[in-house]
A and B are shown apart, each in its own frame.
Chain A
């Protein structure tokens, strides 16, 4: 069971990584980052069956942090949308990407 869960978490993590690298919409990129974090959560829960309770505690912290990050991240996306009327990162070109 643990192996399957770890494989699933690795797949989710890779999907998230590719999403960030390939997609150009800031909100989708942010969602892919959330997918990465949740893949990590899955890995923590699976591993904690193997080695001890710490991993499950960690998951709570990760969820809290992810929520805080979402608050700040979406605020930044809104503020950039006010300037550019777009959330496509290809349109932001004052600084070289």
Chain B
């Protein structure tokens, strides 16, 4: 089928996965407030949380994600006619959509028991995850800054609410307030940047912006200032140092499944939009923003890894690790060639599965709550629950970039991209900080395998219900598969980036 955007109806086809998610989310929301859990608060404690009251909505949400995924696959069969539409239907967007849908599905799978134990309202919780996912997909598909902004806000507002979701938890409320104030503050900068770019180029369409900018017809002052302000907005969303101040606190205070969801989803969405805006829209003035990104990448990698070294709270350590990963991915944006962009997509995919997997075990150790998050709480875990400890070890090794795991191959591709653009210093920093990061990842593994338990019954209450087991097994399988057979997925990612290049100007020159 051909998509012709001069006909309004075809926008519906182009946005079908997003529309399904939004409608489905509203359905889940209504089912949640009219369901049995809201009429009588007391339900039998003995029932299995994975299949009991409220969890039905989780399964319903998963079905919604599945349907959206089906139509996302269906979009591959459509061809665009003409250019300059508000919505992009290219392989780049569709690849990114797989990442968001997969991340959301895994996050829902690991949150069943957490939602039940902490008496969170299931309908609102799962529908907010669906809305946030839809926002991310809007961001990935935005070929217009207007749609990009709306997607960003749909995602952000849902995630603000998710962060403060547990109203009985002080930390959650505090993290929510912090995230909200700083996030809205950054949105202000981002929006002012959009306004100035609009004033400089006379359009909010990224393709038109690219044409005007490369033709040298943009107003110089506005454009430079606009790009600077948009960089601040993006740097905040991907939590690059020095705009990372909110990350550790918000990740620590938010409910753990939400932390898993936003560490993978929000970051991936921001990076995908970052690539599209900067490497397509502002490609011909890359000499203006490239040095800034270079420095952002460098200090993010160094700073985040240094700060992660001293963390004793595992959730906080994973937050700094997430900041460090933003640094690695920024190398790809700074390199700005096809290999780097494809490597970034590949890395985002691997990062999604391994980080959600790591958080799944953290939730298990924390007794499906927020109790035991210190590194000492992992001592002796390897002997009591070897299967979970093996899983967590694999995820940690993958996060650190150990050969044989997907994280290693992702870093190799990022390095390859950096090398193609002759970014030798950044590549060196990436390797050195990766080596440093082994210390704090392996320290957790060392506690698990080498330390004795502090008390006999320390790990007796660790439960992993069926959905969480399923998520863990899927995540381990994907991490190991991508570590051993990465090439087919890399080809897939490369095809996605080529779709991006055909739509913008000439893709991505090589920097000196």
Which A residues are within 8 Å of any B CB, using their own CB? 6, 13, 16-17, 20, 26, 29-30, 33, 36-37, 39-40, 43-44, 47, 50-52, 54-55, 57-58, 61-62, 65, 68-69, 72-73, 75-77, 79-80, 82-84, 89, 92, 94-97
Interface segment out of the listed B1-9, B156-164, B379-387, B480-488? B156-164
Interface segment out of the listed B192-200, B337-345, B428-436, B469-477? B192-200
Cβ of A97 to closest chain B Cβ, rounded Å: 7
How long is the Cα–Cα vector from A7 to B191 in the complex, in angstroms?
17
Write out the residue numbers on chain A whose beta carbons fall within 8 Å of the beta carbon of B176.
76, 79-80
B91 CB-CB contact with A under 8 Å: no
How long is the Cα–Cα vector from A26 to B170 in the complex, in angstroms?
16
Closest A residue to B186 by CB, please name it.
A33
How long is the Cα–Cα vector from A43 to B181 in the complex, in angstroms?
22
Which listed residue (A40, A79, A95) contacts B192, Cβ 8 A?
Answer: A40
Contact B178 A95, beta carbon cutoff 8 Å: yes
Contact B160 A58, beta carbon cutoff 8 Å: no
Which B residues are within 8 Å of any A CB, using their own CB? 146, 149-150, 153, 157, 160-161, 164, 167, 170-171, 173-178, 180-181, 184-185, 187-189, 191-192, 194-196, 198-199, 201-204, 249, 252-253
Interface centre among A37, A57, A68, A72 (most CB of B within 10 A): A72
Contact A69 B153, beta carbon cutoff 8 Å: yes
Write out the residue numbers on chain A whose beta carbons fall within 8 Å of the beta carbon of B249.
95-97
Write out the residue numbers on chain B whose beta carbons fall within 8 Å of the beta carbon of A29.
181
Contact A33 B185, beta carbon cutoff 8 Å: yes
Closest B residue to A2 by CB, please name it.
B199
Interface SS of chain A: helix
Write out the residue numbers on chain A whose beta carbons fall within 8 Å of the beta carbon of B181.
20, 26, 29-30, 33, 73, 89
Contact B153 A65, beta carbon cutoff 8 Å: yes
Cβ of A49 to closest chain B Cβ, rounded Å: 10
The 7 residue pairs across chains A and B that have the minimum distance between CB atoms: A36-B188, A51-B202, A47-B199, A95-B249, A80-B173, A43-B195, A65-B153
Contact of A20 with B192 at beta-carbon distance under 8 Å, contacts A54-B204, A73-B180 already known: no
Contact A54 B198, beta carbon cutoff 8 Å: yes
Closest A residue to B166 by CB, please name it.
A79
Contact A89 B177, beta carbon cutoff 8 Å: yes
Write out the residue numbers on chain A whose beta carbons fall within 8 Å of the beta carbon of B167.
79, 82
What are 25 of the A-B contact pairs (CB < 8 Å)? Answer: A13-B188, A16-B188, A33-B181, A33-B185, A36-B191, A51-B202, A52-B202, A55-B198, A58-B194, A58-B198, A65-B157, A73-B181, A76-B160, A76-B173, A76-B180, A79-B164, A79-B173, A79-B176, A80-B173, A89-B177, A94-B170, A95-B171, A95-B174, A95-B249, A95-B252
